[in-house]
Amino acid sequence: MNIVIAGAGAMGSRFGIMLKQAGENVILVDGWQQHIDEINQNGLKANFNGKDVTEFIPAYNQNDLSDVDFSADLVILFTKAMQLDNMLQSLDNMLGKDTIVLCLLNGIGHEDVIKKYVDYDNILLGNTMWTAGMEGPGKVTLFGNGSVDLQNLGEGKEDVAQKVADVLTNADLNARVSSDILTSIYRKACVNGTMNGLCTILDSNMADFGDTSVANPIVQKIVSEFLAVARAENVFLDEEAVIEQINGCFNRETIGLHHPSMYQDLIINNRLTEIDYINGAIVRKGKEYGIPTPYCEFLTQLIHSKEEIVEAK
Ligand SMILES: NC(=O)C1=CN([C@@H]2O[C@H](COP(=O)(O)OP(=O)(O)OC[C@H]3O[C@@H](n4cnc5c(N)ncnc54)[C@H](OP(=O)(O)O)[C@@H]3O)[C@@H](O)[C@H]2O)C=CC1
Ligand SMILES: CC(C)(CO)C(=O)C(=O)O
């Protein structure tokens, strides 16, 4: 399958490497020129579960795609939320009438942006519990296990969703077709709405935060706000199962040692965060539905305050 990874940061690089290793025809598209040059000159390097690997995958700058002759069967979106619109504009001439677009960004509501550029029937929404970290241009660190949930937006397009899930699973990415992706997206948003902001503000990995005596009450308060907003949108989540999934992030043997992507953005790279698409989205929706969201609001404000202190770009 001809696959474009749109947004070749940490996660895009993971999916690019694993899909390439499974024999798919992959290209990477990104806006970070130094990263692109490094990949094209020396290959995309990864410490992959403790082993050094290098994959040669063609990488292109999203602002210079006019001469790229690649008929994309599948585009996997892995930008940061605030870069999504720009990336879709850049990809415009690669999106054929049959190109399937799978969105795996964290956060809520990305379909509203994607619908501006892609036929409804060609959109797959999803989320993933895989993790990845950027070491520098052309180099990522990959460890642990994960999974992908995805669903077709268009009615009757389940076969398309299944085909994409099969391609991902064949690359060991453990994908499954969900019959209720909004529930999965909200469930994952609860994970990000707790782990990402809290570990960033507390300067910790997930396991160290989980070991603190107040981890559970804080997590419960935040989750209850997410669940109340989800209910207002007719998305019903089992609180216990959500908390269990979050507790799974504390496990040092699996992904507990990971610093969430928001930590990597703000603390390591001085970059702006996706907080407005996670806790901030809950605050906005809460206001719409008359649901108080003080914990999400406070965490969103703390992150914005930290962004200002470190002059994040
Ligand atoms: N990392 C993780 O473990 C997980 C992340 N996610 C989600 O996946 C999506 C992609 O996240 P992730 O892969 O972490 O994103 P990254 O920050 O690694 O990469 C996203 C983009 O940011 C830019 N960028 C990243 N680092 C630098 C740098 N040091 N200097 C300059 N530019 C840089 C690049 O684009 P450009 O230059 O064009 O700005 C890149 O495409 C997000 O929605 C995230 O929340 C989901 C699950 C886990
Ligand atoms: C670690 C994980 C899975 C949960 O916070 C994640 O999605 C991220 O790093 O953004």
Residue spans per domain, the chain: 2-177, 181-310
Q: Is 39 in the pocket of ligand 1 (CB under 6 A)?
A: no
3-class DSSP string for 13-39? HHHHHHHHHCCCEEEEEECCHHHHHHH
What mean pLDDT comes out for the span 241-262?
95
Half-sphere exposure at residue 299, Cβ-oriented, CA atoms within 13 angstroms: 33
Task: Give the three-class secondary structure for 6.
Answer: strand
- ipTM score above 0.90: yes
pLDDT in tens, 172-196: 999 999 999 999 999 999 999 999 9
- pLDDT band with cut points at 50, 70 and 90 for residue 93: confident
Asked if pLDDT for residue 306 goes beyond 90, the answer is: yes
**What does the pLDDT read at residue 86?**
98
Ligand 1, atom 17, lies closest to the CA of 9
Was domain 181-310 assigned CATH 1.20.120.1760? no
Alpha-carbon torsion, ordered 202, 203, 207, 211, to 10 deg: -40
Ligand found nearest the CA of 248: 2
Query: What atom of ligand 1 comes closest to residue 128's alpha carbon?
Result: 47
DSSP 202-256: HT--HHHHHTSTTHHHHHHHHHHHHHHHHHHTT----HHHHHHHHHHTT-TTTTT
The pick from 196, 206, 277 for probing ligand 2's pocket by mutation, whose C-beta has the most ligand atoms within 8 angstroms, reads 196
CATH-assigned architecture of domain 2-177: 3-Layer(aba) Sandwich (3.40)
Q: Does residue 188 carry a catalytic annotation?
A: yes
d(CA 230, CA 226): 6
Q: Name the catalytic one among 45, 80, 139, 188.
A: 188
- pLDDT band with cut points at 50, 70 and 90 for residue 226: very high
pLDDT in tens, 33-60: 999 999 999 999 999 999 999 999 999 9
Report the chain's mean pLDDT, rounded to a whole number. Answer: 97
Asked if pLDDT for residue 219 goes beyond 90, the answer is: yes
Query: What atom of ligand 2 comes closest to residue 258's alpha carbon?
Result: 1
Ligand 2, atom 2, lies closest to the CA of 260
**What does the pLDDT read at residue 265?**
95
**What does the pLDDT read at residue 10?**
95
Portion of the chain with pLDDT greater than 70, in percent:
100
Q: What does DSSP assign to residue 267? A: I
**What does the pLDDT read at residue 165?**
98
The pick from 192, 201, 262 for probing ligand 2's pocket by mutation, whose C-beta has the most ligand atoms within 8 angstroms, reads 192
Task: Give the three-class secondary structure for 10.
Answer: helix
Portion of the chain with pLDDT greater than 90, in percent:
97
Asked if pLDDT for residue 1 goes beyond 90, the answer is: yes
* Distance of CA 261 from the midpoint of ligand 1 (Å): 7
Q: Is 80 in the pocket of ligand 1 (CB under 6 A)?
A: yes
The pick from 15, 79, 106 for probing ligand 2's pocket by mutation, whose C-beta has the most ligand atoms within 8 angstroms, reads 106
pLDDT in tens, 5-28: 999 999 999 999 999 999 999 999
